[in-house]
Amino acid sequence: MPANKAKRALQVAQAIVSDIQLNAREAGDRLPQEEDMLARYEVARATLREALRFLELQGVIQLQLGRGGGPVVSRPQTRDFASSLSLILQFMDTDLRALLELREAIAPDMAARAAVRATNADLAALDDCYAQLERDRETAAFEETNRRFHDLLGWASGNPTFGLLTSALHLLTRDLAVELGYSAQERANQLRCLARVLNAVRLRDADGARRHMERLVKGSSEYLAARSPELVSQKVRWGDPG
């Protein structure tokens, strides 16, 4: 197999990932130390280290220094995924407008799924976040809390892809749109919509959640496009994600 023959380090990386899954390692668990892995995978130390550092970049493990240190299982975070996403989008000359369109596409369905699947814990977290959002309605923290609400809703949808994409989009847009906040009127408008979405979710009304969310994100996009055309034309750039 020519495809498999190349890149021994990557093979080792995949083997380590398989091992993590097979042994059901949780985040925080310690993996065998380098010396044991050397014997296990029968490679040189430099090769093993390349595999480990590669996995570290991907967020699969963390490498702890010093005595008693070693590779520790981590969990790939949204940040790592967002980094990959922004890199490829940069090469495709993607602008903020495209990201907003994607959000328009997924947010309504996401809300509908959340209405069906949100757990009580999810609902409590959403309630808390909404209350916080009302307290932040006139502070600089509004945008951040707003993003957090959408993130929570994404993870409450019971579909990891929604939560992942929503969080990733927020990470990408945060760097671009940091200088521009919503007006007081727009904030009030968004709060109203969010309240309706939250209420629909609480009532397990999937259709209502979808409709109100659709209205919300569409309005948000139109607001940003009208307020600052050059902002939504900004190109995504791969920045230091962490």
Q: Does 72 bind DNA (CB under 7 A)?
A: no
Q: Does 15 bind DNA (CB under 7 A)?
A: no
Part in contact with DNA (CB under 7 A); list of ranges 28-36, 141-149, 201-209, 210-218: 28-36
**Full 3-state SS string of the chain:** CHHHHCCHHHHHHHHHHHHHHHCCCCCCCECCCHHHHHHHHCCCHHHHHHHHHHHHHHCCEEEECCCCCEEEECCCCHHHHHHHHHHHHHHCCCEHHHHHHHHHHHHHHHHHHHHHHCCHHHHHHHHHHHHHHHHCCCCCCHHHHHHHHHHHHHHHCCCHHHHHHHHHHHHHHHHHCCCCCCCHHHHHHHHHHHHHHHHHHHCCCHHHHHHHHHHHHHHHHHHHHHHCHHHHCCECCCCCCC
Answer with the entry of DNA, a copy of itself, none that 106 interacts with (C-beta below 5 to 8 A by kind): a copy of itself
Q: What phi and psi values does residue 77 have, to the nearest 5 degrees?
A: -100, 165
Q: Does 2 bind DNA (CB under 7 A)?
A: yes
Part in contact with DNA (CB under 7 A); list of ranges 39-47, 81-89, 144-152, 177-185: 39-47
Q: Does 29 bind DNA (CB under 7 A)?
A: no
Binding mask 87-106 for DNA (x = CB under 7 A): --------------------
Q: Which residues bind a copy of itself (CB under 8 A)?
A: 2, 6-7, 9-11, 14, 17-18, 21, 46, 49-50, 53-54, 56-60, 63, 65, 75-76, 80-81, 84-85, 87-94, 98-99, 101-102, 104-106, 108-110, 113, 159-162, 164-165, 238-240, 242
Q: Which is nearer to a copy of itself, 137 or 218 (CB)?
A: 218
Q: Which is nearer to DNA, 66 or 120 (CB)?
A: 66
Q: Does 192 bind DNA (CB under 7 A)?
A: no
Rg, the chain, Cα only: 22
67, 92, 240, 242: which one contacts DNA (CB under 7 A)? Answer: 67
18, 23, 33, 233: which one contacts DNA (CB under 7 A)? Answer: 33
Question: Token digits for 113?
Answer: 């799924």
